[in-house]
Amino acid sequence: MTIEEFYKEVDSVLELEPGTIKGNESLLDLSGWDSLALLSFIAMADSKLGLIIKAAALVNCKTVGDLVKVCEGRVKD
Amino acid sequence: MAGSSIPGVVIRGIASAVPERTQGLKDLPELFGGSDAGKIIEVTGVRSWHVCRPGQTASDLCLAAAETLLKNLSWDRDSVEALVFVSQTFDYVAPATSCCLQARLRLPKSCAAFDVALGCSGYVYGLWIASSLMLAGCRRVLFLAGETATRIISPVDKAAVPLFGDAGTATALEREDGHVIHFDLGTDGTGFEHLIIPAGGQRRPRSSQSAVRTPREGGNVRSDEDLYMNGPEVFTFTLREVPPLLNRILARAGWTKEQVDFFVLHQANKWMLDKLAKRLGIPAASLPIALEEFGNTVSASIPLAITHSLRGSAAQESRRLVLAGFGVGLSWGAAALELGPIVLPELEIVP
């Protein structure tokens, strides 16, 4: 998955308009980043990246960039 | 363990019971008044749930289900050789609740009775144990699975309250040649902390501190005597273990997905069931969902889904079922069996 496609997936997880996420956002500033968004992100990674995220690492993510890192190289710049 | 296939076992009937009292989000304006109740219901699939009245226990619900089942089957009580009670909400610390149930059900003194402390995987484990008892020589076994989950969650935990409900069930098994039930069971205790009531056992006895409810992650308010669920860990565990589990049980039974009439999965919540169904390629028509009026009833959720959703189906003719329970432990189990025609009495409402 390209980084642009990944940002669109994060838009979808957070129920934002496509194109909202640019990559430098802090998750704590995004009102949609709640417990259900965490689960939706896990489901997205499973279905779109074929990856079962490490939950503990995901919970510690602070930025959209951190989300890219927990995807273990499956998102290409 | 690796899988096992137990021959000579047939399920004769399943009955479910719920307490009369119900609750829904609309009844809890102080908790959910400002929230989007519609979104919560869409995610959980739970519109309302049944709640025990004070003093009412999981064994009371199982007793009602068992009485209905024995009556509908016309079983002589003296013919029941073992009673298995699966729960995590027992009547007493000691004795075993199954001993009290043996007396209340007027089962013979020759009846073996014991409790099994498991949750979401408990129905499949209980079926496996009851089936194994047939190999040990029993002819008839009564297997009860019930939970008063609403008692072990914080009543002000916004993540837990809209999910769980109370229910009790009874399943009657009999030895008969020509049948087989396939099983696949597993455990990963390294994840024991992800679904846990930390205080109240011997490791951490109750104390004045353990009972204090404070805001925790996500603003959910609970004490260490209330159930804690780490949602992301439990979901990744489910994604990691359940799809391979179902593939293994299908392989053991020699069935393809398409040859299964119903996949009756633990009724965790609708969102998770939808994700699993999509991942596994199970059509909606083959995935009974019995959450709307009951919520997640832990070990009772699989039999409750069968009695609620398959009464017009398995009661009349044989159906191929795959069952799967997964959760607290972390523990999981799946079974593949041909069910029916069997006795599936109407839901018992316990005052």
Task: Say if residue A77's pLDDT is above 90.
Answer: no
Contact A59 B218 (CB under 8 A): no
Query: CB–CB of B232 and A36 under 8 A?
Result: no
pLDDT over threshold 70, residue B1: no
List phi, psi (to 5°) of B339.
-115, 130
Which range among A12-21, B124-133, B223-232, B291-300 shows the weakest confidence by mean pLDDT?
A12-21
The 8-class DSSP code of residue B169 comes to E
Q: pTM score, two decimals?
A: 0.95
Residue B197, CA atoms < 13 Å, CB-side half-sphere: 19
Determine whether the interchain pair B239/A52 forms a contact, defined as Cβ–Cβ distance below 8 Å.
Answer: yes
Mean pLDDT within A48-70: 93
Q: Cα distance from A65 to chain B (closest Cα, Å)?
A: 19
Q: Are strands B262-265 and B48-50 parallel, antiparallel or unpaired?
A: unpaired
**Alpha-carbon distance B237 to nearest alpha carbon in chain A (angstroms):** 9
Per-residue pLDDT at B267: 98
**Residues of A within an 8 Å Cβ radius of B:** 34-36, 38-39, 42-43, 46-47, 52-56, 58-59
Give the residue from B155, B57, B70 showing the smallest Cα distance to B108.
B70
Tell whether B107 is within 8 A of chain A (Cβ).
no
Give the gap in angstroms from C-alpha B190 to the nearest C-alpha of chain A: 14
What separation in angstroms does the CA of B80 have from each of B16, B84, B130, B209?
A: 19, 11, 12, 45
Fold annotation for A3-70: 1.10.1200
Q: Which of B169, B235, B89 is nearest to A37 (CA)?
A: B235
Range of the domain at B162: 1-351
Task: Report DSSP letters for B97-116, one per residue.
Answer: HHHHHHHHTT--TT-EEEEE
Active site residue B266: yes
Burial class (CB in 10 A: 0-12, 13-18, 19+), B145: buried
Q: List the domain boundaries for chain A.
A: 3-70
B296: annotated active-site residue = yes
Nearest CA in chain B to A38: B232
- Residue B6: the pLDDT is 97
Angle subtended at Cα B56 by Cα B55 and Cα B61, rounded to the nearest 5 degrees: 165
Report the CATH number that the domain containing residue B76 is assigned in CATH.
Answer: 3.40.47.10
- Per-residue DSSP letters for B272-296? HHHHHHHHHT--GGGS----TTT-B
pLDDT digits (tens, 9 = 90+) for B32-88: 877 778 889 989 999 999 999 999 999 999 999 999 999 999 999 999 999 999 999
Residue A32 has pLDDT above 80, yes or no: yes
B95 cis-preceded (ω within 30 degrees of 0) = yes
CB B171 within 8 A of CB B111: no
* Residue B53 DSSP symbol: P
Q: What is the pLDDT confidence band of residue B275, given thresholds at 50, 70 and 90?
A: very high
Q: Which residues of B touch A43 (CB under 8 A)?
A: 235, 239, 275
